[in-house]
Structure 1
Amino acid sequence: MTGGIVRSVSPAQLTDPSPCAGWDVRGELNHLVGGMRVFAAELTGVPAGGDHHDDWLGDDHRAAFAIAYALDQAAWHQPNALDRTVQLSFGPMPAPAAALIHLTELLVHGADLAVVIGRPDLVDDDACDRLLTTMRGMDIEPFRRMGAFGPAQPTSVDTPPHRRLLAYLGRVGL
Structure 2
Amino acid sequence: MTTLISERLEAAARQAVPVVRGVDDGRLGDPTPCAEYTVRDLLNHLFHVVVGFQAIAAREDADFTTTPDYLDGDWRSRFADETGRLVAAWGAPGADEGVAGSMNLPARTLGSMALLDLTVHGWDLARATGQEYTPDAESVRTLSALIEEMGPTARTMKVFGEPVAVREGAAPIEVLLASTGRDPGWSPGHRR
Bin for the TM-score computed over the shorter chain:
0.7 to 0.9
Aligned match of 1:44: 58
Question: Cα gap change, 1:158/1:14 in structure 2, threshold over 3 Å: closer, same or farther?
Answer: farther
**Percent identity among equivalent residues?**
32
Partners of 2:178 and 2:138 in 1: CA distance? 16
1:164 alignment partner in structure 2: 175
Q: After superposition, give the CA deviation of every residue in 1:70-101 in whole Å (9 maximum; x if it has no partner).
A: 2212211111112253215xx12221111111
Amino acid at match of 1:147: K
Residue 52 to residue 75, structure 1, CA distance change in 2 (3 Å): farther
Q: Does 1:64 align with 2:64?
A: no
Q: Is the 8 A contact 2:19 2:125 kept in 1?
A: yes
Q: What letter is aligned with 1:26?
A: R
Per-residue CA shift, 1:23-58, capped at 9, x if unaligned?
011111111111111111222367879965111232
Where do 5+ consecutive residues of structure 1 fail to align? none
State the Cα RMSD in Å.
Answer: 2.6
Q: Which has the higher contact order (CA 8 A, sep 6+)?
A: 2
Q: Is the aligned partner of 1:54 residue 2:65?
A: no
Unaligned runs of 5+ in 2: 1-14, 187-192
Correspondence for 1:110? 122
2:27 matched residue in structure 1: 13
The CA deviation string for residues 87-142 of structure 1, in whole angstroms up to 9 with x for no partner, is 15xx122211111111111111111112112223x222624642464246424111
TM-score when normalising by structure 2: 0.76
Of the three residues 26, 30, 46, the one matched with 1:32 is 46
For the pair 1:98 / 2:101, whether they are aligned, the reply is: no
What is the count of residue pairs matched by the alignment?
Answer: 171
Match of 1:155 in 2: 166
**C-alpha distance in 1, partners of 2:175/2:64?**
34
